[in-house]
Amino acid sequence: MANYQIQYISQFQDTGMPAKNWRVELLLKNGQFNDAPYQLVAGATPLKISSKNDQEDKFSPIASSTATFVYKYIDDGRCPAPEIFTDVENDTWLMNVYVDGVIFWQGMVKPDNNNWPWNAPSAYDVNIGATDYISQMKTTMIDLNKDGKFFYGQISNAEFIARTIFHVIPYGTVKVRVQTTAIPGAIGAGNFLSDVYHHDDAWYDFTEGPLFVYDCLTTWLKDNRMRLLYSDGAFWIQSIPDLYNPPATCLDISSDTLAVYVVPYDHMLPVLPGEILYCENSADMSLNAPIKQQNSVYKYKAINQLVNFNWADFDGTVYPGWTEAGPLGSLVLSKVGDGTAESPYRNHMEQNGSPSPGGGEIRQNLPAGPITSGGGIYSAGWRLQFTLKAYAYYTKGVVISVGIGSDDSGSARYLQSDGTWLQLGDIPPGQESMIQMTFTPSSQPGFVTADITSLPLPPSNSKYWVAVHISGPLPADADPLNPIPPGTAYFNEIYPISISVLRTMNIQTDVKAVNRANYTNKPDDLDLFFLDLQDGYLSNTVFYKDAGSFLPLPKDNWTDSRAGSAFSLQRGLHNSLIGEYAKPTYKVDGTFLSSTLRFHQVVILADKGNRPAAILHDDYDVKQRKHSVTLSELIGTYPEIDYTEVAKPKDSNS
C-alpha cells in the first residue's frame, strides 16, 4: 500500500454552539515527511461533503460521496498553485477530514474535479474535489487471486468484501460496518460475514475475465436487500428492512486484519432539542409512489466441471487431467501466462513444422477418467453450458468437439454452435467433421469466443458422460495482403475453458410479487442473481460449511427481524421490495441545520408522528452546519403479497 505524507493542512470552526473544530489534510503519495505542513487559508465556504444514492430509491445499492475543499491561493512562494493538484493521477493526493480530532471523511483528490478563476488576481479561491473512491470500483476488477494465482472456489462474504472494497481503496485502514439481522438457520451461532459463502464463479466471465468491483457489489447488495455508503469515516453496508427496527449491534471488519467483530451500532439519530433545526422553512413534502407489482429474472450460471480447466498443472508435455487422443505428433503444448485471474495460464498449442497440420488433440472426459459402462453422471433433460476464449495466431481458428454418450446404443451426439445435438448416426459418410465446431477469428491474428447453452440432453435409459476434444491448429488460408510474419509459427492459445452443467432443462427463474392493494405502479423488471435452489452446481447458490464441506443452504432457511417464519433469499427480497413501497410514503426535500447528522443514520420525523426516514441525499455545508437532504419514509409493517416463482426453459424475452 502506498505511503502518504501530509504536505498541507487547513483548520476552521463551524458555527455550532459549541463550535466543532475541523481540519483538512492533503497528503502526497510517496511524499517526503513534513513536520511543519503549510497552513492553507480556508475559503469562506471551506468544505462541502455530498452523499447521494445512485438512484432516488431506498434500494439503490450504492451511494457515493464527494468532498470539495476551498482554500485561498496566496502568492507567497509556498502556497500550492492549483496545477499541483491537477497534473496528477487519481491516487496522487489523499484528502483527510477530521472533526474534533476524529476522522470524518477520507478520499482521493480527483484532478478533473478541481477549478479556479481563469483571469485570477494574486489571491483567489481554489476548489479541490475529492471522491471516496467508489467511482474507482467501476474500472477495477474484483480480486480473484489467492497466493498470487487465480482462485476458483467458495469465498465467504467477508472474503468478498476484501476482494472488492478493500481491493479498491488504496489508503490506510479501511473499515466496513455491516448491519443486518438476516441470517440462515443452518449456520447456527455463526454470522453473515464469516459463515455465509458463495462460489466466485459468480464474478468470473470465461470470455471477459473477472467482473468489475462495482458490478459485483451491485449484484451482491441488491440480492441481499442492502446498500453501501460511506459515512463518518467508514463504509457502511445496511440492510434496508432493518433500518426501521435496527439491531443493537453490527458486524465490523477492517482491511488490516479481516477479522469480524460484533460492535454497538449507532443507527437512529437521537431526538433531542436542537438536534436538527429547520432552515428557513425550506422543507417540502411529497409522496413516494407505491408499487403494485415487481417482476424479476434470475438467470442460472453453472460452476465449471472440467479438471485443470485453467491449465495450472503442466508436466512439460501434457496437462494432467487432459489425455492425448492418439499421439500428439507435431502438436507441441506449452504453458504461457502468470496464472492470475488477469493474466491466466493459457494452453499454447503449436504445430512443430508441418508434417501433419492439425494433427494431435487433447481430450477430457466427464466424469474424469476412462469411460466405463455405467460411468455417466449426467441425466436426460439437463443442459450443458460451454464457454471458450482463445487467441488464434494465423490459424483457421479453434476446432473443438463436445460429445455425449451413454450405455444406450446410438446415444452418441455432438454439440453444435446453436446449442442443438447432432446424432452420430445422422452424419453423412465423409462428413465426419460435422462433429466438430470451428470458431474463427474475424481478423488475423485475433480472438475467438463461444458461449453456448445446449438444448436438454436427449432421453436415455442410462446417464450420460461428456467428452471434450481440442484439436491441434490448422494454418489459416494464405492471404497475400496479410501473410504470416517470417520466422513465426501459427498457434492457438486456449484460455481457461468451461464445461458446466445445469441439472435441469430450465435456464432461469421468473419471480412475480404483487401488492394486493389497488395501485398501478409497475417498475422495470429486475435482473437478479442469488437464489435458493439448493443446487451446488450453480454459482447462483448460497453455501454454508458443514464438517469442512460446502453445502447449499436448505430450503427456506433465512430469518430476520421482520419475518414471522423462515423464507428463501428471493422471497425475502421481494417481500421488502413491495413492503417498503406498499403504500404512499413521505418524501422530504429540505434544508436543515445540524452538527450531528450522519448519512448512515435514520432520521426521526418527530413532528410527523415520529416516522423514521432514510437519507437518500445530503449536501453538507460543513462550516454553516447546513444539510440539504432528501429523506424517504421507512415502512414499519410489511403487508402480505401474492408471490410466484416459475422456472423457465427459455429466456422470457425471447
Query: Could you read off the pLDDT of 44-98 as tens digits, one per residue?
Result: 999 999 999 877 788 899 999 999 999 999 989 899 988 899 888 888 999 999 9
Lowest mean pLDDT among 262-271, 292-301, 623-632: 262-271
* Predicted model pTM: 0.93
Domain boundary among 132, 163, 182: 132
Average pLDDT, the chain: 91
Q: For position 69, what pLDDT does the model report?
A: 97
362-394: pLDDT as tens digits? 999 998 766 666 778 899 999 999 999 999 999
Q: Do 261 and 275 share a structural domain?
A: no
| Residue 232 forms part of a structural domain | yes
DSSP 478: P
Query: Rounded CA gap, 213 and 133, in Å?
Result: 12
Residue 562 carries which DSSP code? S
Q: Is 317 left (phi over 0), alpha (psi -120 to 50) or beta?
A: alpha
Range name among 149-153, 352-356, 622-626 with the lowest pLDDT average: 352-356
| Backbone φ, ψ for residue 569 (5° rounding) | -60, -45
Over residues 226-258, the pLDDT tens digits come to 999 999 999 999 999 999 888 888 999 999 888
Residue 437 Cα distances to 324, 417, 449, 450, 651, angstroms: 19, 7, 12, 10, 24
Q: What is the pLDDT of residue 371?
A: 65
| 237 and 376 assigned to the same domain | no
Query: To which H or E segment does residue 159 belong?
Result: helix 157-161
With a cut of 50, say whether residue 272 has pLDDT above it.
no
Cell of 325: 487422443
Q: Scanning the structure block, which residue is given the C-alpha cell 424475452? A: 653
Whole-angstrom Cα distance, residue 538 to residue 198?
10
* Same-domain pairing of 171 and 292: no
Pair 557, 586 in one domain:
no
Q: Measure Cα distances from 322 to 69, 201, 334, 362, 593 in Å.
A: 60, 22, 13, 6, 68
Residues 467 and 385 in one domain: yes
pLDDT digits (tens, 9 = 90+) for 552-562: 999 999 999 88
CA of residue 99 relative to chain centroid, distance = 33
Question: Which one of 116-125, 237-246, 325-334, 450-459 scores highest in mean pLDDT?
Answer: 450-459
Give burial (CB, 10 Å; 0-12/13-18/19+) of 346: buried
Q: 168-223, pLDDT tens digit by residue?
A: 987 778 999 999 999 999 999 999 999 999 999 999 999 999 999 999 999 999 99
| Same structural domain, 113 and 199 | no
Q: What is the pLDDT of residue 529?
A: 98
Q: Are residues 557 and 580 in the same domain?
A: no
In a domain, 541, yes or no: no
Please indicate, yes or no, if residue 97 is contained in any of the structural domains: yes
Classify strands 38-39 and 4-13 as parallel, antiparallel or unpaired.
Answer: parallel
Number of domains the chain is built from: 4
* Residue 316 counted as domain residue: no
CA distances from 232 to 106, 113, 274, 648 (A): 9, 22, 21, 45
186 and 49 together in one domain: no
Rounded to 5°, the CA angle 161-162-163 comes to 90
Judge if 344 and 484 occupy the same domain: yes
Q: Of 502, 519, 541, which residue constitutes the final position of a domain?
A: 502
Measure the CA–CA gap between 535 and 541, rounded to whole angstroms.
Answer: 6
| The last residue of a domain, from among 132, 162, 181 | 132
The backbone torsions φ and ψ at residue 433, rounded to the nearest 5 degrees and listed phi first, read: -65, -10
- Worst-scoring range by mean pLDDT, 93-102, 320-329, 480-489, 515-524? 320-329
Q: Are residues 160 and 209 in the same domain?
A: yes
Residue 116: domain span:
4-55+65-132
Check pLDDT > 80 for residue 270: no
Whether 339 and 469 share a structural domain: yes
Residue 2 pLDDT exceeds 80: no
Q: H or E stretch including 575?
A: helix 569-579
DSSP string covering 276-343: SEE-TT--EEEEEPPPSEEEEEEE--BPB--TTTT-----SSS-TT-EESS--TTEEEEEES-SSSSS
Q: Are residues 152 and 291 in the same domain?
A: no
Lowest mean pLDDT among 8-22, 206-220, 398-412: 398-412
Q: Which pLDDT tens digit goes with each residue over 328-359?
A: 677 899 999 999 999 999 999 998 655 455 56
User: Given this model, what pLDDT does residue 55 score?
Assistant: 75
The answer to whether position 306 is within a domain reads no
Cα–Cα distance for residue pair 516/526, rounded to 1 Å: 20
Whether 118 is in a domain gets the answer: yes
> Is pLDDT larger for residue 270 or for residue 358?
358
CB atoms near residue 39 (< 10 Å):
13
Q: What percent of the chain has pLDDT over 90?
A: 70
Please determine, for residue 543, whether its predicted confidence score (pLDDT) is greater than 90.
yes
Q: Give a yes or no: residue 346 inside a domain.
A: yes
pLDDT at 652: 59
Name the packing angle between helices 569-579 and 213-223 (round to 10°). 80
Which CATH number covers residue 378? 2.60.120
Asked if residue 126 lies in contact with residue 150, where contact means CB atoms within 8 angstroms, the answer is no
Q: Is residue 313 part of a domain?
A: no
